[in-house]
Amino acid sequence: MQRSTRRIIASLALMVYLLVYIIIAYTIGSYIAEAPRWATLLYFIAAGVVWIFPLRPLFAWMNSGPEEDFGE
């Protein structure tokens, strides 16, 4: 599979993942709204950082494989 095809697939997967992650993070955040402010702050800091870690394999796959041949 060419790198450009993998990038398109990975971009679509990234958009779906982010949409689902945002919905889940918002739902959890709305449940802890009654918690102390420090707990809410810690949750939103963690939620703002943790989303990137599951994407590492997707980015590695997206950039793997042979370079594209541009007819040279």
Q: In this predicted model, what pLDDT tens digit does every residue of 11-68 receive, in sequence order?
A: 999 999 999 999 999 999 999 988 999 999 999 999 999 999 999 999 988 888 776 6
Instruction: Output the pTM of the full model.
Output: 0.78
**pLDDT given at position 15:** 96
Q: What is the Cα–Cα distance from 69 to 3, expressed in whole angstroms?
A: 10
| Residue labelled with tokens 């594209």 | 68
Q: Write out the two tokens for 35.
A: 């918690």
